[in-house]
Chain A
């Protein structure tokens, strides 16, 4: 039976908690309520209040406590109720967790789960894709799965990783994507992109929910004879540059696509690397499609105008194909 993205994360958490008694969860409303998005539903019954800790509304304390517990040998998985509120714990993340190993050789193996993204009419405070805040901070691993299979495999890898991992779960994918998962224990490596769909004429480099937009466009263009390769980065830091460059060397054309707004977004980094390292293979400029530089608006027509979608991507694809 196919497993949804949200179930996949839950199963990943459950299996890791069964495997390792040092793994515990903390966050707001994750116990009796099962989390704002029900990711942790049922885990309190199975593991009890010692390992599923409902906290006060204190993001900085949640992140800080996760760091402190990790120093003592535990494996905390902290939930930010919405990725938007991660800003309340920002200092602990960027100024402490990220720097501990480098500064004084004290690893902080923790996972911060952050439900992110738009398309659910959440408005400016419940829709953001703020991964670029953290990709700019050395010492953090930033992971954004797009599929149920990767969500489970990556949450397990994140828990086993010995460095702090920010795990962005796209809210619009929780119940929208599902697939049959491999039996039993499996992991997906952090720092490895996947070729979501193979193609020959153009590369779309993307991650998180936008992988599905890219796949939709790739399927459409296939009928027009344009073969598009979709690269799902899965992890932004550390970045799997090799997979990106290999794809671009093959196709000679690239579009970078993300849901976060354009300026200072991670797409700029990818475009720069392609240009620096595969310039002679390129048959056109590296294009970016991203959200415009506004907060995420609430009203449906505004939000639709804000989010990248298949229509907007098709325009870029056709333009670049004709270049």
Chain B
């Protein structure tokens, strides 16, 4: 219970910091789906806002929850669903705009999960942007 509190406060503080306005890059609603430890991989989703006048790129991600984190995109080709790492340029966040990482599309692919993802847990995810540098977010585990 206490631990949950501490996490909630930490998450709130981070959200407050991220939403404090004025940050070059703001990340909102970072989340992942609950999944058992037998599921090797997971995915994190989020909404990334670029408040600057020039495009930025999310080029890498890491998290203690994942042995390796990669930037992926799921896509449908002729009715067949596939998933692949995004190109070396990363994920573009256009100037004064936002990019949404969401189910069935762009996601932070969490490879070789280091823990079971249980609803209510949070995991820190470090995002690296070409211009804005490093941004830390807390991803909440929840159903959709």
* Chain B binds chain A: no
The chain B residues found within 8 Å of chain A, CB to CB, are none
